[in-house]
Amino acid sequence: MAYSAEISRDNPSCFLFLVDQSTSMSEQVAAGDATQQKAAGVADSINRWLQELSIKCAKVEGVRDYYHVGVIGYGSTVGPRFVGPIAGRDMVPISEIAENPARLEERTKKIPDGTGGLVEQTVRIPVWFDPVANGGTPMCRAVGEAERILQDWITERPNCFPPIVIHVTDGEATDGDPYERIQSLTQLATSDGNVMLFNIHMSANPDAVPMSFPDSADELPDEYSKMLFETSSPLTPSMRALAKEHGFNTSQDARSFVLNADMVLLVQAIDIGTRPSNLR
Amino acid sequence: MWICTQAFHVPKHGNAAEEYEDAFFPDRVSQRGLTAFRCAVADGASESAYAGEWAQILVRSFGRRRLRLAQNQRTWQRLVQGRPVPWYLERKLANGAHAALAGLLLRDRRQRNPRRGSWRAVAIGDSCIFHVRGDELLAVGPVCRSDDFDNNPYLVSSKNSGPLRRDDPHVSIVSGSWRLKDIFYLTTDALAQWILAEYEAGRPPWKFLRALGGKQKSFEAVIEDLRKSKALRNDDTTLIRVEVK
């Protein structure tokens, strides 16, 4: 059965983020009751996600390398986007990520004091990835880069749980039609299944209707969103179960695609795409 | 009451022996003249830190007297506090450790009837207890079907929970009576799931479990074979066999 390989230190898996950093990512998007710059919201989400994954994989003796993670940005240039000691590397074991944040930012948060009130607590937030919004949308080159990185990964680990690519974008490619490139990326496979692609499309337009995990392209508004749907992987049964936890009823043919996402839907989609169910 | 017990344990494949996070109590007993006997297995959750230690605290507490959750939580807290830790462990420890627990208490009623007594099982999570007479399964719980195991059982936390109450819906309490030659098995989830699957398929494994005798090496070999054939999930695996002689 596909997508059932055990994820262990002997047989790790990986996540690769492909992040649109074009100029339009500087637009404001809804984030709960407030708004936030898309690029800043994406950076916050990825930093928080890296923090949670580090904690999940942590044991007393250190962080166990169940996963390697990469973040590729595309805008004025295409390439790896970690900052700090791991800058310039495209795929990094989670233990090295945990040990090497660029900085720990101190923030205060309010927590219950146990008597019905709230008390302020200082927490240290690690940062590995900074927001950038500058340039065009060279999606074709970025997908080509992802294919190169994952081809190398799979050659070394042919039996791993398949890599999962989380692609966050807000606009159309400016360097050609990415359809063939994306098809080529998701045709990469391990013995446990094909590389999975999550397409998360963000919109700053408050009138744009969000769509979550559709099972057909019939109601999608244009050729671009249809292309993103066609290239998104089918949700696995465990991802559908997670989607249900988040309140999404999905059909068996649901794709890992959200359209016109705000910050809340972005975070939900990343969780559904990446929460491990077979860590050992 | 004459009780003979034997515990068996194997870490998950790919992990070192010191990474084993189940716990059991006691290891081995052959004692006559008991009026009460307690034993327990626990399964520390892999996603928490100091989970094996938490599981140990719980089985010893249950096995020696009874579960005293607030005291057990303080013991765990003393164990983990007071040392500088990296940021990721700081958050992890704040979340506490978690474990499933299954404990069994046997009482003698010999004064009234020399061949019978009572038992009571307490379980939180998906570690299980089986009560077997000859080739017949008399009771099993808290999980009763192999399909009912999932990745998110309710677990005992080392943090932020009040005392365990009998009417807590997450606490299973079952009781019954034993006769001489009855056998109880306490197991953590992976083996419990396999036992139930075999039983449901009409292949109850009681003879096989009895035939293990006291040989830890035989148990390790059997578990390795079951894992290779994918019949058993790769997880820390623990079994206590309790015989009433």
Name the pLDDT band for B136 (thresholds 50, 70, 90).
very high
Does residue B213 sit at the A interface (CB-CB below 8 Å)? no
Tokens of A147: 């294919």
Tokens of A274: 């990446």
- The tens digit of pLDDT for each residue in B42-63 reads 999 988 899 999 999 999 999 9
Q: Which residues of B touch A9 (CB under 8 A)?
A: 14
Alpha-carbon distance A158 to A144, whole Å? 20
Is A98 in Cβ contact with B86 (below 8 Å)?
yes
For residue B113, pLDDT over 80 is answered with no
Could you tell me if A10 and A231 are in contact, meaning their C-beta atoms sit under 8 angstroms apart? no
Name the pLDDT band for B10 (thresholds 50, 70, 90).
very high
CA atoms within 13 A on the CB side of A95: 10
Average pLDDT along chain B: 90
At B162 the pLDDT is 61
Determine if the peptide bond prior to B26 is cis (ω within 30°): yes
Alpha-carbon distance A2 to A12, whole Å? 16
Cβ atoms < 10 Å from Cβ of A144: 18
Percent of chain B with pLDDT over 90: 63
Q: Which residues of A touch B12 (CB under 8 A)?
A: 280
Q: For residue A31, give the H/E element and its range.
A: strand A28-31
* Biggest CA pair distance of chain A: 59
At B112 the pLDDT is 64
Radius of gyration of chain A (CA): 18
Domains contained in chain A, CATH given: 13-274 (3.40.50.410)
Output DSSP code: residue B83.
Answer: S
Could you tell me if B100 and B125 are in contact, meaning their C-beta atoms sit under 8 angstroms apart? yes
Q: What is the mean pLDDT of residues A14-30?
A: 93
The closest of A123, A122, A137, A117 to A47, measured between CA atoms, is A123
Does residue B91 sit at the A interface (CB-CB below 8 Å)? yes
Could you tell me if B121 and B101 are in contact, meaning their C-beta atoms sit under 8 angstroms apart? no
Alpha-carbon distance A78 to B109, whole Å? 77
Residue of chain A nearest B83, judged by CA positions: A60
The three-state (H, E, C) secondary structure of A86-124, written as one string: HCCCCCEEHHHHHHCCCEEEEEEEEEECCCCCEEEEEEE
The alpha carbon of residue B175 is apart from the nearest alpha carbon of chain A, in Å, by 34
Q: What is the mean pLDDT of residues B77-98?
A: 88
Average pLDDT along chain A: 92
Tokens of A255: 């794709």
Q: Is B99 exposed, middle or buried (0-12, 13-18, 19+ CB in 10 A)?
A: buried
Q: Distances from the Cα of A112 to the Cαs of B87, B93, B96, B160, B207, in angstroms?
A: 21, 18, 17, 12, 54
Could you tell me if A212 and A247 are in contact, meaning their C-beta atoms sit under 8 angstroms apart? no
Alpha-carbon distance B211 to B230, whole Å? 22
Tokens of B239: 């079994």
Could you tell me if A235 and A196 are in contact, meaning their C-beta atoms sit under 8 angstroms apart? no
Q: Please identify which residue in the block is written with the tokens 């450790």.
A: B97
Tokens of B222: 């059997």
Alpha-carbon distance A94 to A275, whole Å? 15
The closest of A235, A234, A214 to A226, measured between CA atoms, is A214
Tokens of B186: 């306490």
Tokens of A83: 């900052």
| CB nearest A280 (choices: B12, B49, B86) | B12
Does residue A231 sit at the B interface (CB-CB below 8 Å)? no
Residue A182: what are its φ and ψ, rounded to 5°? -65, -40
Question: Which residue in B20, B87, B161 has the most chain A C-beta atoms within 10 A of its own C-beta, making it the best mutation to test that interface?
Answer: B87
Tokens of B45: 């959750």
Say what angle helices A38-57 and B87-94 make with each other, to 10 degrees. 70
| CB nearest B151 (choices: A6, A63, A277) | A277
At B164 the pLDDT is 66
Q: ipTM of this predicted complex?
A: 0.80
Could you tell me the sign of the dihedral formed by the alpha carbons of A83, A89, A91, A93, in that order? negative
Could you tell me the sign of the dihedral formed by the alpha carbons of A87, A91, A97, A99, in that order? negative
For residue B107, pLDDT over 60 is answered with yes
Is A55 in Cβ contact with B91 (below 8 Å)?
yes
- The tens digit of pLDDT for each residue in A204-247 reads 887 888 999 999 999 898 899 999 999 999 999 989 999 999 99
Alpha-carbon distance A10 to A17, whole Å? 23
Name the pLDDT band for B110 (thresholds 50, 70, 90).
low
Does residue B87 sit at the A interface (CB-CB below 8 Å)? yes
Position with higher pLDDT, B40 vs B83:
B40
Alpha-carbon distance A268 to A256, whole Å? 12
Percent of chain A with pLDDT over 70: 98
- The tens digit of pLDDT for each residue in A99-145 reads 999 998 887 877 777 777 888 888 778 999 999 999 999 999 999 99
Class of domain B3-244: alpha beta
At B196 the pLDDT is 96
Residue A75: what are its φ and ψ, rounded to 5°? -165, -115
Position with higher pLDDT, A180 vs A119:
A180
Does residue B235 sit at the A interface (CB-CB below 8 Å)? yes
Percent of chain B with pLDDT over 70: 95
Name the pLDDT band for A88 (thresholds 50, 70, 90).
very high
For residue B167, pLDDT over 90 is answered with no
Alpha-carbon distance A135 to A25, whole Å? 10
pLDDT-wise least confident of A46-50, A78-82, A110-114, B110-114:
B110-114
Residue B119: what are its φ and ψ, rounded to 5°? -135, 155
Q: Distances from the Cα of B51 to the Cαs of A52, A89, A196, B14, B100, in angstroms?
A: 18, 34, 33, 18, 10
Beta strands A189-190 and A193-194 are antiparallel
